[in-house]
Structures are given as C-alpha cells and as structure tokens.
Amino acid sequence: MDSLYLLIPIALVFCAIAIKLLLWAINNGQYDDLDKEAWRILADDNPIPPATPEDKQEQQPESTER
C-alpha cells in the first residue's frame, strides 16, 4: 500500500496536465462555439463540390488575436 505515496502524486500530476490543456484550449477559442462544432461533426463534408476539388474543408482552429 505504500505505492499510494507515489501513485497519488502521479495521478495529481496528470490531473494538473489535463486541466492545463483544457484551459489552453478554452483560451485558444476552441470551445467558443459549442453548437456549431457539435453539428459540424455530423454534417456532410462534401456538398457535391462543383468546381474546386482542393476545397479547403479543414479549417485550422481559429487563432484568437487579442
């Protein structure tokens, strides 16, 4: 049971990393538009593209300028 003294701090470190990542994503604006992203993942990507095959479907995550 002494391993707890090692494992619990490790768990806390992981938790801290997860929180850090999440906060980074929020500050980065990735959660600013929950409705749209929720819908977009279900939407058809290719709406019968008439002309441009190299259509820039994938947008980079919006970088916020502040």
Please give the angle made by the CA atoms of 17, 22 and 23, to the nearest 5 degrees.
100
62 binds another protein (CB under 8 A): yes
Using the Cα atoms of residue 39, residue 41, residue 44 and residue 50 in order, give the sign of their dihedral.
positive
- Pair of tokens at residue 26: 């929020």
Residue 56 binds to another protein (criterion: CB under 8 A)? yes
Question: Residue from 10, 34, 53, 58 that binds another protein (CB under 8 A)?
Answer: 34
Residue 35 in tokens: 């409705």
Our finding on whether 7 is near another protein (CB under 8 A) is no
10 contributes a contact to another protein by CB under 8 A: no
Whether 64 and 28 have beta carbons less than 8 Å apart is answered as: yes
Q: Which residues make up the interface to another protein (CB under 8 A)?
A: 1, 4-5, 8, 11-12, 15, 18-19, 22-23, 26-27, 31-36, 38-40, 43-44, 47-52, 55-56, 59-60, 62, 65
